[in-house]
Amino acid sequence: MPTALGYVSIGLACGIIGAPYVTLVEMGLMSLFVYAGSAQFAMLALIVVQAPVAAIAMTFFLINLRLFLLSLHASTYFRHTSLWYNIGMSSILTDETYGVLMGELAHTDKVNPMWMHGNNLNSYVAWFVGTVVGTALGGLLPNPEIFGLDFALVGMFIGIFASQFQMMQRRIPVRNLLIILAVVAVSFFLLLTVVSQSLAVLFATLLGCSMGVVLDGQ
């Protein structure tokens, strides 16, 4: 539920910001079929500069590529379920619902598949409602950008990360967590010099995972 409430607020921000550039129907369809907060914020920015469709599609792909890793890991906790269940679960998995799953696994070794469906669907519906209502409200504001609402997604990421880090300290030594974070941060900034930001996130995450495996084996 906290994630769903957060999605409503961020969806409102996304809708308000996008109101001058997309219609209510377009925003609704975007939220239903794209369903990616950071990608939708990026799409709005690309629409403003009238970027070609190919550039928008490639940006979507690169930004959401990290979800491949999240889905790959999340599906390992539902091996007893069908392939179609895992496809359905992964298709609407987000950074936040993945974080909630990891938080739940900090307290229990097994998660009910229906619980995960509820986790995903609550956020999915909340995002759709938030963006549509936000677009409707945005039409009433002359200059929505001045409110800095595009920072809402970053704020939610920070909150989820802080909560998850606190829970991980119960199972993983703080020293190991700090080493992993350092590897991710340093590799990310180094990779930015040779690849795009989205690929830097992906490769830095892989390096962080590799370091976690090494530390776990010690």
Query: Over the stretch 1-38, which tens digit does the pLDDT of each residue have?
Result: 667 777 888 888 888 888 888 889 999 999 998 888 77
**Do 121 and 212 have their domain in common?**
no
Q: Which residue type does 213 have?
A: V
**Do 110 and 188 have their domain in common?**
no
Q: What is the DSSP letter of 19?
A: T
How many distinct structural domains can be found in the chain? 2
Question: How many alpha carbons lie under 13 Å from residue 154 in its C-beta half-sphere?
Answer: 5
Residue 35 in tokens? 């369903």
Q: Is the pLDDT of residue 128 over 90?
A: yes
Whether the CB-CB separation of 12 and 134 falls below 8 Å is answered with yes
pLDDT value, residue 133: 92
Residues 6+ apart with CB under 8 A from 34: 40, 43, 60
Instruction: Give the helix ranges, DSSP H, for the chain.
Output: 2-18, 24-33, 37-48, 53-64, 66-74, 83-91, 95-105, 113-138, 152-168, 174-191, 197-216
pLDDT value, residue 195: 82
Q: Is the pLDDT of residue 153 over 60?
A: no
Percentage of the chain with pLDDT > 90? 8
pLDDT category at 157 given cuts 50, 70, 90 is: low
What mean pLDDT is reported for the chain? 80
- What is the value of pTM for the model shown? 0.68
Q: Give the residue-averaged pLDDT of 83-93.
A: 88
**Do 144 and 60 have their domain in common?**
yes
**Do 158 and 212 have their domain in common?**
no
Q: Is the pLDDT of residue 154 over 70?
A: no
**Do 45 and 114 have their domain in common?**
yes
- Could you tell me the CA-to-CA distances from 183 to 64, 105, 186, 218 in Å, in that order? 22, 24, 5, 17
Q: Is the pLDDT of residue 172 over 90?
A: no
Question: How many alpha carbons lie under 13 Å from residue 124 in its C-beta half-sphere?
Answer: 16
Q: Give the residue-averaged pLDDT of 133-146.
A: 76
**Do 131 and 180 have their domain in common?**
no
pLDDT value, residue 151: 62
**Do 131 and 187 have their domain in common?**
no
Whether the CB-CB separation of 94 and 123 falls below 8 Å is answered with yes
**Do 132 and 205 have their domain in common?**
no
Domain endpoint, select from 155, 171, 187 = 171
Domain endpoint, select from 133, 149, 171 = 171
Residue 168 in tokens? 């991980």
**Do 207 and 119 have their domain in common?**
no
**Do 34 and 48 have their domain in common?**
yes
Whether the CB-CB separation of 112 and 177 falls below 8 Å is answered with no
Q: Is the pLDDT of residue 214 over 60?
A: yes
What range does the domain containing 178 cover?
173-217
**Do 62 and 103 have their domain in common?**
yes
- Residue corresponding to tokens 């990421």: 157
pLDDT value, residue 2: 63
**Do 207 and 189 have their domain in common?**
yes
pLDDT category at 129 given cuts 50, 70, 90 is: very high
